[in-house]
């Protein structure tokens, strides 16, 4: 072993003070180039610089899900006839508490598999949803009391709503907030459940969103009750978009602000498409769309999770009245025409002629202005400000 020398002490050693120890003990080797009788370092020597502590388990959802699957696979490959319980804990609080359970009590039950994470508050709904789907009896998250775990509690409430909607038993995922070994022991020591005859084997996506959708779909596939639309509370990261097709003009503002690409256009035709599994219900589309045509509906629609992009609205493109080039949509042109009918630009004898520029493409409008030599914003009438300004 490089850097260390192995030393053994046995019972009957000439030194009467030596204890009987049949396990190898590790002793650091002296520095390279120094003899066994070297003098101690002087007090003025530069003290060693302490090394920064590296996090033992940096949180990556793909890595944590892979470790979860490996632990469950090893459990069942060993011939276990019961279903294990996953205990998710951190290093600073969970590891010392588990050690205290072993030193002053019976320790963890044999059917509990501890799994380390950097911080349990970083766990979203994807890991608690994936654990039962992969064959675990449930998941327990070991948290610290008097710490703010509001986000984690809301996540567990959302998962409980999904499990209730699919007919799965409640209590599979729970939070244990304690720093008492006896309380932890009481929460974990119970009779294990028998192993299920069949376990899920879906591919684990490496991203949080993909894992949540895959685990939810597997939960629905193995649901005791028939799968149906499950309503979710406001703020849930799953849901649909309901479009008012009469108010929508296919301006495509929503496609530019959607952070996940759930609202998509079609470069070849005026069309708005929507894959439901990509929507996180952030509300940016509803907040920025000028026609107020979008409504968010938090829900789980099982057929829509794996359905292709469905078309929310499509129209044939409007053809330029000059060259026939397709541009815009008929509803958009009509909406702009109605808004500009009473505008200053459309007043006067040439008003309708100016409005006719709206039916031309960008090249057609420039060509009409240059060839006919008129300014579409000039009505031929001099307008002045009212005497009292615009106060009234």
Return the pLDDT at 262: 94
Report yes or no on 279 lying in a domain: yes
Instruction: Judge if 258 and 219 occupy the same domain.
Output: no
Instruction: Judge if 75 and 158 occupy the same domain.
Output: yes
| Residue 343 clears pLDDT 90, i.e. is over it | no
Report yes or no on 23 lying in a domain: no
Instruction: Judge if 212 and 84 occupy the same domain.
Output: yes
Q: What average pLDDT does the structure give for the chain?
A: 79
Return the pLDDT at 384: 53
Instruction: Judge if 91 and 136 occupy the same domain.
Output: yes
Q: What is the pLDDT of residues 41-72, one digit of tens each?
A: 444 445 554 444 444 444 567 788 899 999 99
Band of the pLDDT at 220, cuts 50, 70, 90?
confident
Return the pLDDT at 174: 92
Instruction: Judge if 112 and 217 occupy the same domain.
Output: yes
Q: What's the average model confidence in pLDDT over 246-256?
A: 89
Return the pLDDT at 391: 54
Contacts of 272 (CB under 8 A, 6+ apart): 243, 248, 250, 252, 254, 255, 263, 264, 265, 311, 312, 313, 314
Instruction: Judge if 307 and 290 occupy the same domain.
Output: yes
Return the pLDDT at 19: 40
Strands 230-231 and 294-300: antiparallel
Instruction: Judge if 71 and 176 occupy the same domain.
Output: yes
Instruction: Judge if 186 and 117 occupy the same domain.
Output: yes
- What is the percent of the chain where pLDDT is above 70? 77
Q: What is the pLDDT of residues 298-330, one digit of tens each?
A: 999 988 887 888 999 998 888 888 888 888 888
Report yes or no on 29 lying in a domain: no
Dihedral sign computed on CA atoms, order 274, 164, 192, 104: positive
Report yes or no on 284 lying in a domain: yes
Contacts of 357 (CB under 8 A, 6+ apart): 365, 368, 369, 376
Report yes or no on 3 lying in a domain: no
Instruction: Judge if 73 and 212 occupy the same domain.
Output: yes
Q: End of a domain among 293, 314, 335? A: 314
Q: What is the CATH number of the domain that holds 268?
A: 3.30.70.3270
Report yes or no on 346 lying in a domain: yes
pTM of the predicted model as reported, rounded to 2 decimal places: 0.67
Return the pLDDT at 57: 46
Does residue 296 contact residue 258 with C-beta atoms inside 8 Å? no
Q: How far is CA 223 from the centre of its chain?
A: 23
- Dist CA 312 CA 252 (whole Å): 12
- What is the percent of the chain where pLDDT is above 90? 30
Instruction: Judge if 102 and 150 occupy the same domain.
Output: yes
Q: What's the average model confidence in pLDDT over 131-139?
A: 89
Instruction: Judge if 179 and 324 occupy the same domain.
Output: no
Both tokens of 284, joined, read 């940016």
Band of the pLDDT at 18, cuts 50, 70, 90?
very low
Range of the domain at 71: 61-194+201-228
Does residue 314 contact residue 272 with C-beta atoms inside 8 Å? yes
Return the pLDDT at 31: 42
Instruction: Judge if 66 and 119 occupy the same domain.
Output: yes
- Dist CA 101 CA 183 (whole Å): 10
The domain total for the chain is: 3
Report yes or no on 50 lying in a domain: no
| Residue 219 clears pLDDT 60, i.e. is over it | yes
Return the pLDDT at 14: 41
């Amino acid at each position: 072993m490089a850097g260390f020398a192995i030393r053994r002490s046995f019972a009957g050693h000439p030194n009467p003070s030596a204890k009987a120890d049949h396990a190898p003990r590790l002793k650091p080797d002296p520095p390279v180039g120094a003899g066994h009788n070297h003098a101690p370092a002087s007090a003025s020597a530069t003290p060693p610089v302490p090394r920064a502590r590296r996090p033992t388990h940096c949180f990556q959802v793909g890595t944590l899900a892979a470790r979860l699957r490996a632990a469950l696979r090893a459990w069942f490959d060993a011939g276990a006839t019961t279903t294990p319980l996953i205990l998710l804990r951190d290093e600073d609080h969970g590891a010392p508490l588990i050690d205290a359970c072993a030193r002053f009590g019976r320790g963890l039950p044999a059917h509990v598999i501890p799994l380390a994470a950097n911080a349990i508050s970083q766990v979203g709904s994807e890991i608690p949803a994936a654990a039962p789907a992969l064959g675990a009896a449930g998941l327990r998250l070991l948290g610290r009391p008097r710490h703010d775990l509001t986000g984690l509690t809301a996540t567990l409430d959302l998962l409980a709503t999904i499990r209730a909607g699919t007919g799965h038993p409640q209590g599979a995922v729970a939070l244990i907030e304690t720093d008492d070994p006896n309380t932890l022991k009481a929460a974990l020591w119970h009779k294990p459940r028998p192993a299920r005859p069949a376990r899920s084997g879906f591919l684990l996506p490496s991203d949080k969103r993909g894992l949540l959708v895959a685990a939810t779909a597997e939960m629905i596939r193995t649901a005791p009750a028939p799968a149906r639309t499950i309503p979710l509370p406001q703020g849930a990261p799953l849901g649909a978009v309901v479009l008012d097709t009469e108010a929508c003009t296919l301006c495509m503002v929503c496609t530019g602000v959607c952070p996940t690409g759930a609202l998509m256009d079609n470069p070849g035709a005026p069309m708005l498409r929507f894959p439901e599994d990509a929507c996180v219900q952030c509300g940016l589309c509803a907040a920025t769309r000028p026609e107020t045509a979008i409504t968010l509906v938090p829900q789980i629609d099982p057929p829509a999770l794996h359905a292709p992009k469905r078309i929310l609205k499509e129209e044939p493109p409007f053809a330029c009245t000059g060259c026939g080039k397709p541009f815009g949509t008929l509803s958009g042109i009509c909406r702009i025409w109605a808004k500009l009918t009473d505008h200053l630009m459309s007043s006067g004898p040439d008003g309708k002629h100016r409005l006719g520029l709206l039916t031309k493409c960008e090249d057609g409008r420039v060509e009409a202005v240059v060839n006919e030599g008129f300014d579409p914003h000039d009505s031929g009438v001099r307008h002045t400000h009212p005497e009292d300004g615009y106060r009234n």
